[in-house]
Amino acid sequence: MKRFVLLGLVLGAAASCGDNLKPGGTSGTTDAATAIDATATDGQQGPDAMEIDAAPPADQFTGSVAFLELAALNPGTVTAGAEFFGQGLAALITVVDNDVVPGPILDTEPGLPTGCKLWEYDTPAEIAGAVVGVDEGAFQLSVTGGTAPATPPTIPACIWQAGIGYSCPDTTTLTTGGAIAVIGGGVASLTTTVAYNDSVLGRYVLIRGALTPSNNGLFPIVGRPTTNTIRYANAGAALEAVLPGASSSVVVGAAGPIPQVPDPGFLANDAVPGLEHSMGAHIPTFTANGSNTLLAGVGDDFSMHADPAANATELTKLNNIPLDGTAFTVSCDAAVCGAALGSIMTITTTDATPQAGNPFSFPTSTGKRVEIRCAAIGATSVTIPANFMQHVMTSGAKRIRTIFTRGNLINSSPTAPVTVLVGHSIAGFTNPPP
């Protein structure tokens, strides 16, 4: 059995503080660049898929929702035929107060949703304000139709929690106590009194209050051998035959990649996505669905190139971005890039030390965080300019996450300043030398 390492590509921080990547602020436009990086099994935060903003609103409170099939590359040089660690749904939701979160300091197309924008967060307060955001009511995502997979996924309501941000817990699975066993190969099991069903497959389990620190966190579920037992990836798991009565566990939906899940994954290209938002203090109730996308349905799944070797070479760029301040470009061949409104590439740095031995660990920055989002409508390639990359070079980053997304917009509400992006993304990680 392949050893499962802990993923830093998950949604909605649950094990510790949240890391919803949401550059905010106003600079001509309100950037609702997105994403829920989420706390992974080691309490790390995961990828953002920043989205294309809608028109430039002057609203104080603005939101972004990215509903994605997110694939994680295997670390290092990508090998043809063994490109991906896994894939899964990610609901990346953030609402920010633009009077608190600073706007971009570089912007190639001010006042427009396209072009490249760069944010720098230099204090813990700025970082927390950008990644956790504020509570503006529940978001309910849905998927109907689709040919592959034929059975569309279900997503629990996504709610906000202080210090965490938005995540999508299945409250019917919330329980206390239980038992943890080590299966081997980086897999553990949790047995509780909950009657789990097959909806847990493709989701994560959040465990809190275990006596062994490495047993706590948000972990991808990889099996359900019995009604009351689930198996999940946690290479650091330790036996706890009886969990404390004050411990808790809950299954969380749309939280990130699941190890070794092959295509077609969970989100079909021809599925119809939907969103319902309950009234918040500043964001009104609204609905969005695939019928009002600029291009119908979901931004398609894609490859970089039809040739396997060329595809692997292009994907490797996401794991090895230049660290010398030079510009770089990531492209997908139009023949295999699928249909989408456009392409978005996001880069995020962390100055916190990743968990040893975990190539996906991405802890929230403690002193400085750099966010870059470049969006191009109608394009299949994205270039990050040299002056933007120079900020990455001087950020003090200990790990850098890069995500390439093909997506469509589905929110046409004139009253709700929330952008909603639906599509497919690929994430990679770069490790600067000490």
End-to-end CA separation in angstroms for the chain = 33
Phi, psi of 112 (to 5 degrees): -120, 155
Residue-level pLDDT at 321? 97
Contacts of 78 (CB under 8 A, 6+ apart): 312, 313, 315, 316, 319
Q: What's the average model confidence in pLDDT over 400-410?
A: 94
Q: Which residue has the higher pLDDT, 102 or 3?
A: 102
pLDDT tens-digit series, residues 192-207 = 999 999 999 999 999 9
Token pair, residue 222, equals 């990889």
Instruction: Express as a percent the part of the chain with pLDDT over 70.
Output: 85
pLDDT category at 10 given cuts 50, 70, 90 is: very low
pTM summary value = 0.86
Residue 171: is its pLDDT beyond 50?
A: yes
Report the pLDDT value the prediction gives residue 423, as an integer from 0 to 100.
Answer: 95
Q: Is the pLDDT of residue 65 over 50?
A: yes
pLDDT band of residue 382 (cuts 50, 70, 90) is very high
Question: pLDDT tens digit string along 101-116?
Answer: 999 999 999 988 899 9
Which positions ≥6 away from 16 have C-beta within 8 Å? 39, 43, 364
Are the beta carbons of 431 and 362 closer than 8 angstroms? no
CA–CA distance, 338 with 312 (Å, rounded to integer): 18
Which pLDDT value is given to residue 169?
A: 97
Q: How many other C-beta atoms can be found within 10 angstroms of the C-beta atom of residue 379?
A: 18
Mean pLDDT, the chain, integer: 85
Tens of pLDDT along 418-433? Answer: 989 999 999 999 999 9
Of 42-56, 111-125, 411-425, the one with minimum mean pLDDT is 42-56
* pLDDT at 142 > cutoff 60: yes
Least confident residue range of 237-246, 341-350, 382-391, 408-417: 408-417
Is 57 a residue whose pLDDT tops 60?
Answer: no
- pLDDT at residue 27, rounded to an integer: 32
More confident residue, 34 or 168: 168
- pLDDT given for residue 407 in this prediction: 94
Q: Domain limits of the chain?
A: 19-167+258-430, 181-250
pLDDT tier at 38 (50, 70, 90 boundaries)?
Answer: very low
pLDDT of residue 290: 74
- pLDDT of 293 reads 53
Whether 308 has a pLDDT exceeding 50, the answer reads: yes
Residue closest to 352 by CA, chosen among 14, 105, 42: 42
- Tokens at 1, concatenated: 């059995």
